[in-house]
Amino acid sequence: METLLLNKEEVSSLIDLDAIRAAVEEGYRSFNSGLVVQPKIMDVALPGTHEGVDFKGGLDMGSGYITLKASSGGYDNNPKLGLPTGMNTVMLFEAKTCALKCVMDGTFITGCRTAAAGAISVKYLARADAEKLCVLGAGSQARRQLEAMMRVRKLTEVRAWDALPEFLDKYVKEMSIETGLNIRKCRTAEEAVRGADIVVTTTRGRSGPIVKKEWIQPGTHIAAIGADASDKQELDADVFAGAKVVCDSINLCVERGETHNAVKAGIIRPEDIHAEIGEIILGRKPGRENSDEVTIFDTVGMAIQDIVTAAMLYKGALEKGIGTRYEFFK
């Protein structure tokens, strides 16, 4: 019984954002069809430090795979040792036999499947004629979101902002070349948000909310990406007032997504949340219903996204003959 090994470079060569978006969309369908098992994250951390490994596991009866994603965070020691602070590895099991089919570097999986989530929300919730995108934050997720969103809407203008000017400069320069789009460097978040049709928030969310309600024009779609823990926030809580709120998982978002902040502040109740994105994809609930409503998509991230992405990469590798075959059970 062979296991396929895929390193970072090989995984990178297999990345296809359209295919990942399609896979994640299928994954959301599975989730809202009751085909997904996703236990709580297992957190193995050194007490009193940020050092540790998180294990996220899940099973998708739709694709027929189980994954375990190990996310290592060596925040305190690694920079001194010249090692990356975050390292991800994914084990992929065939659900039918529980055999370990693949172990792959997971560096790109989280970024790409999160970008896919943002793009799917744009596909189903942004206005069809949305063309002005505001990207808040200028890290790797800000890159992935732009790359993914430009594939689902014809963008004519991109506004970029980050609290760190050197980060912003680099982003604008590099992403202009990569995408061929007109990317405008904004001095304030307000300048970036006002007049945008789509707003995507990708900051670390640790310095308090960035986006104010009065900056948002009617008909805007907001993809709230950065806040995936109960101590993170990127939107003022009242941005949720009167908006159509869609979550990847209502339970997770109420517990620790951007939605958590709005619920805690009493701006919305969990029962005011319009839908989970999979319900919209399945056609069970409407997406955008007019050109004036403000829509918010909140994502914390789910194992199902890792499963479908890893399964797609694995199948792509088999097809193209990429990777190293190894026999653990010999």
Q: Catalytic residue positions?
A: 69
H or E stretch at 108: helix 107-125
Binds its own copies by CB under 8 A, chosen from 15, 87, 181, 265: 87
CB neighbours of 327 closer than 8 A, spacing ≥ 6? 1, 2, 3
Taking CB under 8 A as the binding criterion, the range among 77-85, 160-168, 223-231, 268-276 that sits at the site for its own copies is 77-85
Distances (CA, A) of 157 to 26, 179, 232: 30, 12, 28
Residue 98 contacts its own copies per CB under 8 A: yes
Binds its own copies by CB under 8 A, chosen from 97, 208, 266, 290: 97
CB 249 within 8 A of CB 304: no
- The rounded distance, in Å, linking the Cα atoms of 50 and 46 is 7
Residue type, 72: S
Q: What is the DSSP string of 152-213?
A: TS--SEEEEE-SSHHHHHHHHHHHHHHH---EEE-SSHHHHHTT-SEEEE-S---S---B-G
Residue 2 contacts its own copies per CB under 8 A: no
In the complex, the smallest distance separating the C-beta of residue 283 from its own copies, rounded to whole angstroms, is: 25
| Of 22 and 35, CB closest to its own copies | 35
Binds its own copies by CB under 8 A, chosen from 42, 164, 177, 318: 42
Binds its own copies by CB under 8 A, chosen from 18, 39, 178, 264: 39
Q: Residue numbers of the site for its own copies (CB under 8 A)? A: 1, 5, 7-9, 37, 39-40, 42-47, 51-53, 55, 57-59, 61, 66, 68, 70, 72-74, 77-78, 81, 83-84, 87, 89, 91, 93, 95-100, 103-105, 107, 324, 326-330
